[in-house]
A and B are shown apart, each in its own frame.
Chain A
Amino acid sequence: MDKPRTDEDQALVARAQAGDAAAFDDLVVKYSPRLYGLIYNMTSNHEDTNDMLQDVFAKAYRAIKGFRGKSSFYTWIHTIAVNMTLNFLKKRGRRYHLSLDDVDASIQNDKEFIELTSTSSPVREADLSELQRRLNESMMKLSEEHRAVVAMFHIQGMPHAEISKILGVSEGTVRSRLFYANRQLQNYLDEFRKNPVG
């Protein structure tokens, strides 16, 4: 996923800081789909994601005057979103139910989807929708920090350096968390493939 142009963001931020509400609206419109994806893949629940996303923008709106531009707006808003979601998940604990299992119809045209389902692979052997469901469950078995790294790297397509800035950890830590999370997911999915009913 491409990183948005920072100069365009800077102009919008400057206007929002000067009290232009329409400029902040533009930032909301621009970043809500991206942040929705990130939060959803950390919470796996639509209602929680919606509430959280509203809270993230409300907090950003209150804090925008204090934003000094030491990082890009992209990093700043993602940091707010990740920190708030991590806090929320810690409070929520294990009380959750998965939602939003419906996959967008455009997946049929996705290159990776075609590749996964046409070539010989363990994915092809299993029902893809069931596999996706299992994947979501496996994601929820990861710790919040590992899930955040997986969501940002694999799903949002962020580079390691950006993730390290957002989480405030070193790139080495990001790579290490990613490696561990991949092993965990691999084990959960292999377990499912060997024992599909369980």
Chain B
Amino acid sequence: MSDWLSPEEWTAVRLSLIVATTAMFASLPLGLGVAFLLARGRFWGKSLLDAAVHLPLIMPPVVTGYLLLIGFGRRGPIGQFLYDYFGIVLSFRWTGAVLAAAVMGFPLMVRAIRLSIEAVDRKLEDAAGTLGASPAWVFLVVTLPLCLPGIVVGMILCFAKAMGEFGATITFVSNIPGETQTLPSAIYTFTQVPGGEAGATRLTLISIAISVAALFASEWMARFVGRRIAVE
């Protein structure tokens, strides 16, 4: 692999995989929580929360990136807080790329999980309750396993979106090789310099390969999980 790809290209591929995987796992707990709230909760401002979650899906990615820059930049209110109290810097770091990717993938993840939670038969949860399971246990041993296919789909969608994320990432954390230059940014850079077609083509092929692999993986996992919980 390393003699076919230049070290810079290899770095971009690796960084992309790390950023997308981290974004997927980091947003999973919050995604589950928000999906559960939206599917089951009855509270004031529910449609507001719903709109906020979906915003990155509707807004131009550059706008999302710019908002992240304002909020999470070194001088942004949240960015400053994170730096002062935790020493965390997001802007122009790979962690910022993770944040951008996670924000963009979040609505897709929440949507998939929410739909699967809504599809879980509440009667089964009632039955579990009469058998002595507290609400927390019911969630862990009945609801969660039953919506596993939706969770898998949500994770894969989030991963795929994170792999392809460009606009918000480049606006928020720029395009620094080795730090924030993910696959799409690297391809974009190649297309901007003369003689970069070969590199762009190689990275494009890798992009396609990763996407197809992710698709197959999700199909396989969804089928595996689905077979185990074939509904009566």
Q: Do A and B share a complex?
A: no
